[in-house]
Amino acid sequence: MTRKPLSFLLLATMLSGCTMIPDFSRPDFSAAQNWNDVPGYESETGEKLAVEMDWKAFFNSSEFHLVIGTALQNNKDLKTVALNIEEARALYRIERADLFPSVNANGDGTIAESSDESSATGRAQKTELYEANLGVAAYELDLFGKIRSNNESTINEYLATTEAHAVVRNALIAETANAYLQLLSDQKLLALTQKTLTAQQRTYDILSQSLEKGVSTEQDVARAATAVETARVNQHQYSRFVAQDKNALFLLMGVAQDDAFLPKTTLDEVAIKDSLDPGLPSEVLLMRPDIRQAEYNLLSRNADIGAARAAFFPSITLTGTYGFASQSLGDLFASGAGGAWAFLPKITLPIFQGGRNKANLDLAEIRKEKAVVGYEKAIQVAFREVSDELAARETLDEQLKSQRRLVAAAQKVYDISQARYKSGIDSFLSVLDAQRELYVFQQNEIQIERQRLANLVNLYKVLGGGSEI
């Protein structure tokens, strides 16, 4: 008598471990085997991969540690993603709970009294009935893996959300560092402009005095005034940029403005690691959190197909109760109380759904194809980002050296022009031209210096650095 039920339960248990999720294979890389190099330059092999280097080791500066650490602790975007992780974790726990029966304890009491007229005996009667039971409420046997497929989809959604946190963390570190570098750059440009304005104002004052003595010309004084006002315009511009840079930095840090966070060093004193190993695309790209996020999304969509396939097959739902009943509340759990049980299995076989199941399967397959496209695009974007930053790294160092030589040459031209003007050989126009050219070259040098440092930060980011949770 017990063989058939036991056999049925054994078969149900075996089937419940199966799913109809398609076998997963990672899409082929649509990127080259090696990074794209700049012709004429050779890539240098660094000491470590970016993912192996903690951000504090990469940014070897207490000031960087302060601003980046504050951003990681207080940034609102990062906090929002962290809450999304908690939400996804809760959803996974809810979905996983469907794998187990839900047992509820219930208690009922009924008290009824009939009137003389309504009673069959002509007398008023009072009846009491009390019940207490444990019940399994609509537990579905997962014979074809629908619940497990949904669970698999949800856990991969959760894992994708954790990778989204790593993506935001990775970006926040780089954005905060670049905002800090931009502030240092604009502060240096402002200092250069103020120095240039002071020198040009001194020249203007000397020429004005010389004009009164009949030595210089009105044209020289007018040209000097133009140079002074140009520098003054730039001073106002860079003062505005510095103020805006501070606002951007404090927004990323998520705190009120406080001078304690502002840099005490200069752009020339920044210490950032410049010896990262770019590695090979096949190993580096799979370490990036955005690639891992895209893969988890693909796995989730793949699991949805298993759930959609399982919907075509019968579902068996079990409902049962066991408890006690008594006409006296005090005797409900006594040895003489009457026992009661019920077992209500139900099987549902989909026959006509108006095409709903087929449409759901088509939808799941389409969403998987979209996830495949998204994964391939993430690979391609990542490959381009790394190649761009490597190309920049291979040229910015040499560009900065060339720019510094250009500044040195322009400084020499300016010094010679001043000497020739004081000797009466050249007009003041040559001095102004040399001074204006020197100022432009000095500004470009500062910009290239910032770009070189920002390139190191961005390279660390695109190689997956700073993304660990």
Q: Does residue 257 carry a pLDDT above 50?
A: yes
Phi, psi (rounded to 5 degrees) for 315: -120, 140
pLDDT (0 to 100) of residue 102: 65
pLDDT for residue 444: 95
Share of the chain above pLDDT 90, in %: 20
267-287 confidence digits (pLDDT tens): 988 888 888 887 777 777 888
**Bridge partners, residue 341, by sequence:** 322
- What average pLDDT does range 140-168 have in this prediction? 79
CA distance 11 to 5: 10
| Per-residue pLDDT reduced to its tens digit, 171-226 | 889 999 999 999 999 999 999 999 999 988 888 888 788 777 666 678 778 888 88
* 123-136 residue pLDDT tens: 666 676 666 666 66
109 has a pLDDT exceeding 90:
no
Highest mean pLDDT among 333-347, 369-383, 401-415: 401-415
Q: Please give the residue that has the higher pLDDT: either 249 or 206.
A: 249
pLDDT in tens, 418-468: 898 888 787 777 888 888 899 999 999 999 999 999 999 999 999 888 766
Query: Following CA atoms 441, 443, 444, 447 in sequence, which dihedral angle do they give, to the nearest 10 degrees?
Result: 160
- Going by their DSSP bridges, the two strands 338-348 and 126-141 should be labelled as unpaired
Would you state the pLDDT for residue 5?
46
Q: Which of 71-75, 81-85, 232-236, 378-382 has maximum average pLDDT?
A: 232-236
Question: In which band, very low, low, confident or very high, does the pLDDT at 401 lie, cut at 50, 70 and 90?
Answer: very high
Which pLDDT score is estimated for 317?
Answer: 73
Contact of 281 with 31, CB cutoff 8 Å: yes
- Using a pLDDT cut of 70, give the percent of the chain over it: 75
List domains and CATH numbers for the chain: 12-99+142-314+358-462 (1.20.1600.10), 104-141+316-348 (2.20.200.10)
Q: Would the pLDDT of 117 be above 70?
A: no
Of 19-33, 238-252, 417-431, which range is least confident?
19-33
More confident position, 257 or 85: 257
Q: How many other CB atoms are there within 10 angstroms of residue 398's CB atom?
A: 11
Query: How far apart are alpha carbons 469 and 451 in whole angstroms?
Result: 28
Confidence at 6, pLDDT banded by 50, 70, 90: very low
Write 387-392 long-range contacts (CB < 8 A, 24+). Answer: 387/35, 387/36, 389/455, 389/458, 389/459, 389/462, 390/35, 390/36, 390/37, 390/43, 390/278, 390/459, 391/36, 391/37, 391/38, 392/451, 392/455
Mean pLDDT of the chain: 79
Radius of gyration in angstroms for the set of CA atoms belonging to the chain, rounded to a whole number = 38
- Residue 166 burial (C-beta neighbours within 10 Å; 0-12, 13-18, 19+): buried
Residue type, 321: T
pLDDT higher at 121 or 397: 397
Q: Which residues pair with 379 in a beta bridge?
A: none
pLDDT, residue 243, reads: 94
pLDDT band at 240 (very low <50, low <70, confident <90, very high): very high
What number of CA atoms fall less than 13 Å from residue 250's CA on the CB side?
14
Q: What is the pLDDT of residues 34-54, one digit of tens each?
A: 776 665 555 555 667 888 888
Task: Please state the rounded mean pLDDT for residues 304-316.
Answer: 79
Query: CA dist 334 to 129, 130, 340, 348, Å?
Result: 15, 12, 14, 40
Question: Which pLDDT band, with edges at 50, 70 and 90, does 400 fall under?
Answer: very high
Confidence band of 244 (pLDDT split at 50, 70, 90): very high
Confidence at residue 285, expressed as pLDDT on a 0 to 100 scale: 80
